[in-house]
Structure 1
Amino acid sequence: MLIDTHSHLFVEEFTEDLPQVMERARKAGVSYIFMPNIDSTTIDAMLSVCRDYPGFCYPMIGLHPTSVNESYEQELAVVHKYLSTSNEFVAIGEIGLDLYWDKTFLKEQILAFEKQIEWALEYSLPIVIHSREAFEYIYKVMEPYKKTALTGIFHSFTGTSEEAAKLLEFEGFMLGINGVVTFKKSTLPETLTTVPLERIVLETDSPYLTPVPNRGKRNESANVKDILMKVAEIYQITPKRVEEGTSVNALKVFGIRK
């Protein structure tokens, strides 16, 4: 049983061949695909895919930091409306901070992130955190919640051992490991040797970050098996153990029982 904890299969890159993409995922052994929202423009497409593949695809609701601008409060109102009227969402995500492209709306990004953390606690949902060029800010926002019931995933973790250790202080959180771990110049394999298997989950971030050997092509959920093989090699254990361990971790975060 493989789980892709982070996949955007509802975006336009998949409109031509989604059934085949899903079939390849199933053939690769994928049992669950968790889908993070981006903003109000993606909710319908995401829900449509999840409703077409019930028990296989699960939606989250949230406002992605790169979609935060001067009208972010309107976007948050949409998120809140869905949160308060539907119980089909398994997490609030993806949320967080992104200072890679643009720092213009840093203040608004922080406010949106904090508000969505509060909702996660209010609705007893995990959060999925996007962090790009923003580690210190993320840590600072998260620190007051260390002793709360907050749980979730630090998505696309690619940091140092020191950063991993700081994130592991948040006991209810996992580190999301994706195709970056297979890249030739990645330092992630080295970092992972300091992280217990009990604290990681696997993800593809499809259609991005395609793992070796398909790097450069569109990513899809079936490729989670390439990430699994690399992680098994790093931990020097069988792929089966990684599969079982990371699946238990993922289902625990999302509150789903096998």
Structure 2
Amino acid sequence: MIITDTHTHLYSDAFDQDRHDMINRAIEQGVSRFFIPAIDSEYTASMLQLEKDFPEHVFLMTGLHPTHVKDNYKDELKHIEDLLEKRSFYAIGEIGIDLYWDKSTLKIQQEAFNYQIKLAKKYKLPIVIHCRDAFDEVFEILESEKGDDLFGIFHCFTGSLEQAHKAISYNMKLGIGGVATFKNGKIDKFLNEIGLKHIVLETDAPYLAPTPYRGKRNESAYIVKVLEKLSYIYNRSEEDIADITTQNSKAVFKV
């Protein structure tokens, strides 16, 4: 059984004491594909090191996280362009809009998001979207950029059924993680109305640990708890869920 974690911050400081052990625990559980989203230029070196340490398992993205869109965002975007000219990546992400932490940066968040979508199209790459308290704003930009060359993953999807269908209409898979296991997570109530062909698995480690680890440090091995929950929701075997969601990830990332 091959399990794919489509979104995990393995370079996070939270793993500094046991990074290799943590990754190997996940591999032992069958999690053999780790897709690594970027945050900003400060993490580039540690991401490249991860790839060097686990070349068979680690797949890198590049991008500027919306909460890190600051006054220097144009320099950060230039860093991304420089990286894309030097080497290949599997996605532009995570990118998007976050109005939970800071609404004052909305304008430059929108600009950075739009710019990075155009970069993704230029390099024929998927995008991985971060959206927090900003569905309308994200959908507005996706609407302006929609087409066959726009595709990717709506990471950590926590919206309504209507919003799920809207995201899917823009060629997005839904990234489903620990929230699906929460008592008040809500998405578990309608997920079975969405075809499995639209779903990929993720952890967002070290964040959003699934039940029974909620509130603790998340790690990629815990994706098996998400797999168990989806097996229950869809009334399919865990092997089926793992296989279908891994095939979905291959359709997005082309690897």
| TM norm structure 1 | 0.97
d(CA) in 2 for partners of 1:252, 1:113: 23
Contact 1:91 1:126 in 2 (8 A): yes
1:183 equivalent in structure 2: 182
d(CA) in 1 for partners of 2:61, 2:220: 17
d(CA) in 2 for partners of 1:135, 1:191: 18
1:161 equivalent in structure 2: 161
Matched, 1:61 2:62: yes
1:228 equivalent in structure 2: 227
d(CA) in 2 for partners of 1:146, 1:240: 34
Matched, 1:206 2:182: no
d(CA) in 1 for partners of 2:20, 2:71: 37
Letter in 1 for 2:242: E
2:38 equivalent in structure 1: 37
Cα offset, 1:47, TM superposition: 1.1
| Identity over aligned pairs, percent | 44
Contact 1:146 1:169 in 2 (8 A): no
Measured on the aligned residues, the alpha-carbon RMSD in Å equals 0.8
Structure 2 unaligned spans of 5+: none
d(CA) in 1 for partners of 2:202, 2:155: 8
Letter in 2 for 1:218: R
d(CA) in 2 for partners of 1:85, 1:229: 40
1:90 equivalent in structure 2: 90
2:244 equivalent in structure 1: 245
1:219 equivalent in structure 2: 218
Q: Deviations over 1:137-184 (max 9, x none)?
A: 00000012322312110000011111111111123x200001000011
Letter in 1 for 2:230: V
d(CA) in 2 for partners of 1:191, 1:255: 29
Letter in 1 for 2:163: E
Aligned residue for 2:180, secondary structure, equals helix
Aligned residue for 1:42, secondary structure, equals helix
Letter in 1 for 2:54: Y
2:122 equivalent in structure 1: 122
d(CA) in 1 for partners of 2:12, 2:69: 19
Aligned residue for 2:173, secondary structure, equals strand
2:16 equivalent in structure 1: 15
Contact 1:159 1:191 in 2 (8 A): no
Q: Deviations over 1:45-104 (max 9, x none)?
A: 1111111100201110000000001221111111111011112x1111100000001111
Structure 1 unaligned spans of 5+: none
Q: Deviations over 1:103-142 (max 9, x none)?
A: 1110000000000000000001111000000000000000
Matched length: 254
Aligned residue for 2:136, secondary structure, equals helix
Q: Deviations over 1:185-233 (max 9, x none)?
A: 1111112122110000000000000001111211000011100000111
Contact 1:5 1:201 in 2 (8 A): yes
d(CA) in 2 for partners of 1:45, 1:26: 20
Aligned residue for 1:105, secondary structure, equals helix
1:104 equivalent in structure 2: 104
Letter in 1 for 2:4: I
